[in-house]
Structure 1
Amino acid sequence: MPNSNGRSHRGHRGSRKAGRHELVSTSLQSAQHCLEDQDFGTAYAHYLLVLNLAPELKSDIRETFQFTLFKWAEELASLARIQDLFNCYEQALELFPNDEVICNSMGEHLFRMGFRDEAAGYFHKALKLNPDFADAKENFYRVANWLVERWHFIMLNDINRNLIYQKAIEKVVHSGCRTVLDIGAGTGILSMFAKKAGAPSVYACELSKTMYELACDVVAANNMEGKIKLLHMKSLDIEIPKHIPERVSLVVTETVDAGLFGEGIVESLIHAWEHLLLQPKPKNRDFGTEDYGQVIPAGAILFGMAVECKEIRRHHRVRIQEVACVHLAETVEFCSPIHASVNSEETIEPYTTEKLSRVPGGYMPLTEPFQVMTVDFNNLEELKSLATRKPCKISIPVTQEGMLDAIVVWFVLQLDDEHSLSTSPSEETCWEQAVYPVEGLPDYSVKPGDTVMMEVCCQDCYLRIQKISVLTSEYVMDTERENTLALGNEAELCSALAGLKTTSMESTEIALLNNVPYHECFNTAIGKVLSSLIPWKESQAMDVDGRGSQMNFEESQNKNTYSTHDPLYVLDVSEGFSILPIIAGKLGPIKAYSSVEKEQHQRALNIISEANHFPKDTLEFWLSHVEDENVVLQRPKSDKLWSIIILDVIETSGLIQQEVMEKAAISRCLLHSGGKIFPQYVVMYGMLVESQSLVLESAVQGTEPTLGFNIAPFINQFKVPVRVCLDLSTLPCMPLSKPAALLRLDLMHPYLNSSKREVKVQVCLTEDTENAEEVFGLAAF
């Protein structure tokens, strides 16, 4: 009875359809209730069910689903349920594979967790789906700076560096070298030098996924696909014959940084000599070139020089004892992480880097250049001994009177017996110099006749210069306070050392602490605000501009002038070490809250507070009161409001902090009548400049600097339209206009802000710039 069976099947189908419709409807209602209760996990599960049962509803619930996904992902991230978080995004992208918002959000989570390559892929996909998607564009530019560091552009534009490497590789290949391994291939340019020179077998390894994929594209574009074998791995993981069929006769590499060893060249070459290279040529035997192994570069000589440099000093030593009426306690010693790394269990880079030829204010040599160390990359035993050698003591006579601020180090990279590259400050090169700031000396002044002493070693894959001291005709002063005091003073010295508290600070934090005008300006401004909030009779006890407030506040404490009134509440939520709450605390009846997180920073602020005679409860650390970062601006009691809230507005990179206007909006709601946000407004300035250096650091300029190889179109995909962390004072440039105000960002009166503003900048041409062909850019500061 086919008709009867047909009616039965249709009935079942109708029943299933009605049941599905009812389930979808119920799940949608449940999801909405869960959202109202902020149960985002359950709401997400309901929406997944709905979208799988009723795909036709995708467009209707897309935005609500996105919101639910993002909220649930935030919870999973806070609970460290990372795998569940990614599973949710994978499910979402199966349903919405072309959703640029979900792709961008997935990339943000990956970036926060350190998966930069993968994050870049999602940001790039989001941009392909919507080229006008501002968030994805900004994210991609940010991650591009991580994935392809700016020095790649500088090095590829350094035609001298490329030419010398090419000549050295050609020389050894033409002499019979048959197999080549390029360690840390980057774009693959050294591998292509070897293949073009005629090497039959060329292998290259690159750990970065982004650079590996870029090298694959470059090699293919230069008609060498299949002729160079690219490996996405560390050289330490290469096995024979699993990855390459045989030992090679040449390893070529440029895995060197400003301090020579910082990119792991010693470790990778030890492994190469033991597992990947043919045996080195014995000195007393004649081998054919193809019968032995060698390395380019063959070796290096490290040089050093003691210098005076105010800019280095400003970033690594606190030079003041008092700032804006706040006395910095003698028992607190501030030092940079580089200095702290000497006694640290962590492996921290023991130097910073500078392009000394560009450093603001210049530098002055205090000694002649001296040889620090030599290394033979073709000697396995010497490479192995580097890490186990005892520190070498070096003594260098002072030739010029000045302040001992740093030991500067550079090297000569000997590619072979004919070709070399120098990174000296006097050379025009793509490399910077390694800088070892001198810290912890009682006196930094030196003069001819003195001797600078130090210990040098290679430890944890870094060149370390430590225990820097000055020997005079009278006594020794060094960073470890080893002193030749008489026995009668030893107890006093030990007591002083026991009470000394060392506080490690970032170089930007030290530079800010050294910025006296900044703190005095804050002192004056906050003094005016506080005087307007204090009752008239009491305000007479303090100066309107805050000057002289130290004496007035201390006197008022003794006389209990403010005891009948609630204190004014000041909250500092700026990032890093900040003495602004202490400056505020000296201006009146203040209860100051600081948001510094590091225990050593809190300890230092407490010591400074005591040294400035603060009552014990004047300064508190706010994060100890707050479990949820979302309520960091709120007071302990809802009926109390803040008098002043100090916000971070500008990042050290020069960019405006993300979500600063949202934070300002919350802050305004939590202020007393007459209270203020600091800073109250920010004005951004810009200036047109001409700079060939900026051009070379931003993109590869055609095929000429890369000796005819087609690399520029591929690596220039990662160029960025905005350069951050660019110090205009160090940039060789020629101004083409006067500074112009680009934007005023008012945190107290947001209605004064405009989202768009056209700025006309008049170009001031000179005889030198009228015929200039270089592209000029707008520098904002």
Structure 2
Amino acid sequence: MQEGDSVDEYFRSYEELNVHHLMLDDNPRTFAYRKAIFEWREKFKNKVVMDVGAGTGILSIFCAQAGAKKVYAVEASKLAILAKEVVIENNFENVVQVIHNKVEDLDANVIEKVDILVSEWMGFYLVHEGMLNSVIVARDRYLKPEGFMFPSIAKLYAAPCQLPSFFDFWNNVYGVSMKCVGKKYRETKPLKPEVLTVKPQDLLSEGKLIAWLDLKEVSDEDLSHLGGNEWVFPCTKDGNYQGACIWFVVEFPNGSELPTSPMDEETHWKQTVIVLPSTIDVKKGEAIAFKMFLHHDLVNSRRYNIEFIMLDPADAEHDIPCSCNMPKCIVTRAYIQEHVNNPPISRV
């Protein structure tokens, strides 16, 4: 498939109303945007806004309801035709201008600079679909220097986890043991991340921050490669290390958030999981270590390749202090605690 073909297929996929029903029915997602916009009414009042990837136009309508003077609702797919009807149905045709075009192809001589740039651009594991690159184009061309991004911050997290749906199922299939089938089944899974719901009790450790994006400053070059550091995870319970769970959080300028972690209300993004081929038994306090890289796919820019590398915790760099039970971390914690309880006496 050529790059142009994949781009056209991407936009056509958003002409399916089932896709929009899924997103609109996602209460945490839609309510988070509505709440963030309405709580910032004073910032939207009489301002010019651009909504990149407007879809059905709901975020554009929210901005208009919050008092925006002008809203450019930019939508590349044919859904723009229906979005215009939504605008008319809600009596905002004098405020919201639906533009049926890719943001990259807009005429900068026709679009005025905007005060706020709104977009729901997030994909699975935050950056799947590569829509953030289009938002960056809009930001660089149309957002005023003092303007605001909605959302303004994006953070990607990961943690080791248990995956009973992938492992336990095969132990007893209607009274028949199929562990050998499960092993073959899992051997294919590391080739592609899984999107599923991870229960909070199946996390084996607290999440670590894999990537932090300031959306006012992030560049295309920054997005070409995310992650890459070593992360050590002290286990908070006994369990079965069977995969790595990935989720994200975005923050709005008013301080509100849209989280997608296993600890929060489920969204249509769920969580993204790297499945291990076999189970590793772990104990509370034991350390798990890995590296994770996200690289832009060279053929299809809408996709990322995720590289997951398991590490020996003894060779990885631990936090200071680290709560794992490795001797060096136990000694470090004891040293820090000793100096907290008995600070050195300064003499003059």
User: Do the structures match in fold with TM over 0.5?
Assistant: yes
Match of 1:312 in 2: 166
Relative contact order, higher structure (CA 8 A, sep 6+): 2
Q: How big is the shift at 1:183? A: 0.7
Matched residue of 1:353: which SS? strand
Match of 1:630 in 2: none
Matched residue of 1:249: which SS? strand
Q: How big is the shift at 1:419? A: 1.5
Counterpart Cα distance in 1 of 2:240 and 2:161: 8
Are positions 1:276 and 2:128 aligned together?
no
Indicate the RMSD between aligned Cα atoms, in angstroms: 3.6
Q: Give the one of 288, 295, 301 matched to 2:155.
A: 301
Q: Give the one of 176, 185, 190 matched to 2:54.
A: 185
Match of 2:114 in 1: 248
Q: How big is the shift at 1:354? A: 1.1
Match of 2:107 in 1: 239
Match of 1:75 in 2: none
Counterpart Cα distance in 1 of 2:204 and 2:260: 19
What count of residue pairs does the alignment treat as equivalent? 296
Inter-CA distance 170–366: structure 2 relative to 1 (3 Å threshold): closer
Match of 1:375 in 2: 213
| Cα pair 1:270 1:384 within 8 Å, conserved | no
Which residues in structure 2 correspond to 1:118-157 (within 5 Å)? 147-150=16-19, 152-157=20-25
Match of 1:413 in 2: 250
Matched residue of 2:56: which SS? coil
Matched residue of 2:262: which SS? coil
Q: How big is the shift at 1:230? A: 0.9
Counterpart Cα distance in 2 of 1:192 and 1:271: 23
Matched residue of 1:444: which SS? strand
Over the matched positions of the two proteins, sequence identity in percent amounts to 25
Are positions 1:335 and 2:183 aligned together?
no
Paired AA for residue 33 in structure 2: Y
Q: How big is the shift at 1:177? A: 6.1
Q: Give the one of 454, 459, 470 matched to 2:290.
A: 454
Q: How big is the shift at 1:164? A: 3.5
| Cα pair 1:351 1:434 within 8 Å, conserved | no
Counterpart Cα distance in 2 of 1:368 and 1:376: 23
Counterpart Cα distance in 2 of 1:185 and 1:206: 5
Instruction: Name stretches of at least 5 consecutive residues in structure 2 with no aligned partner.
Output: 1-7, 171-177, 297-301, 317-348
Counterpart Cα distance in 1 of 2:117 and 2:86: 21
Q: Deviations over 1:232-261 (max 9, x none)?
A: 2222222302xx432212110111123111
Counterpart Cα distance in 2 of 1:455 and 1:384: 20
Q: How big is the shift at 1:180? A: 0.7
Matched residue of 1:223: which SS? coil
Inter-CA distance 363–312: structure 2 relative to 1 (3 Å threshold): farther
Match of 1:257 in 2: 123
Q: How big is the shift at 1:364? A: 2.1
Matched residue of 1:153: which SS? helix
Inter-CA distance 409–463: structure 2 relative to 1 (3 Å threshold): farther
Q: How big is the shift at 1:376? A: 1.1
Inter-CA distance 333–426: structure 2 relative to 1 (3 Å threshold): closer
Inter-CA distance 114–420: structure 2 relative to 1 (3 Å threshold): closer
Say which structure is richer in helix: 1
Counterpart Cα distance in 2 of 1:115 and 1:386: 19
Instruction: Name stretches of at least 5 consecutive residues in structure 1 with no aligned partner.
Output: 1-112, 118-142, 280-291, 341-349, 476-781
Match of 2:196 in 1: 354
Inter-CA distance 397–222: structure 2 relative to 1 (3 Å threshold): same
Paired AA for residue 61 in structure 2: M
Which residues in structure 2 correspond to 1:190-589 (within 5 Å)? 190-209=59-78, 211-241=79-109, 244-279=110-145, 292-313=146-167, 320-321=179-180, 335-336=187-188, 339-340=190-191, 351-357=193-199, 364-381=202-219, 384-388=221-225, 391-440=228-277, 444-460=280-296, 466-469=307-310, 471=312
| Cα pair 1:451 1:470 within 8 Å, conserved | no
Matched residue of 1:295: which SS? strand
Q: Deviations over 1:667-701 (max 9, x none)?
A: xxxxxxxxxxxxxxxxxxxxxxxxxxxxxxxxxxx
Inter-CA distance 162–308: structure 2 relative to 1 (3 Å threshold): closer
Match of 1:36 in 2: none
Q: Deviations over 1:428-450 (max 9, x none)?
A: 24333332223356x63333343
Paired AA for residue 244 in structure 2: I
Q: How big is the shift at 1:353? A: 1.2
TM-score by structure 2 length? 0.72
Inter-CA distance 373–198: structure 2 relative to 1 (3 Å threshold): same
| Cα pair 1:356 1:432 within 8 Å, conserved | no
Paired AA for residue 233 in structure 1: N
Counterpart Cα distance in 2 of 1:294 and 1:266: 15
Asked which structure has the greater CA Rg, the reply is 1
Q: How big is the shift at 1:168? A: 2.5
Matched residue of 1:164: which SS? helix
Match of 2:331 in 1: none
Q: Deviations over 1:313-333 (max 9, x none)?
A: 4799xx84479xxxx9xxx99
Q: Deviations over 1:712-758 (max 9, x none)?
A: xxxxxxxxxxxxxxxxxxxxxxxxxxxxxxxxxxxxxxxxxxxxxxx
Inter-CA distance 217–384: structure 2 relative to 1 (3 Å threshold): same
Paired AA for residue 370 in structure 1: K
Counterpart Cα distance in 2 of 1:275 and 1:462: 24
Matched residue of 1:404: which SS? strand
Matched residue of 2:114: which SS? coil
Matched residue of 2:247: which SS? strand
| Cα pair 1:252 1:297 within 8 Å, conserved | yes
TM-score by structure 1 length? 0.34
Counterpart Cα distance in 1 of 2:151 and 2:313: 40
Q: How big is the shift at 1:153? A: 2.4
Counterpart Cα distance in 2 of 1:240 and 1:448: 57
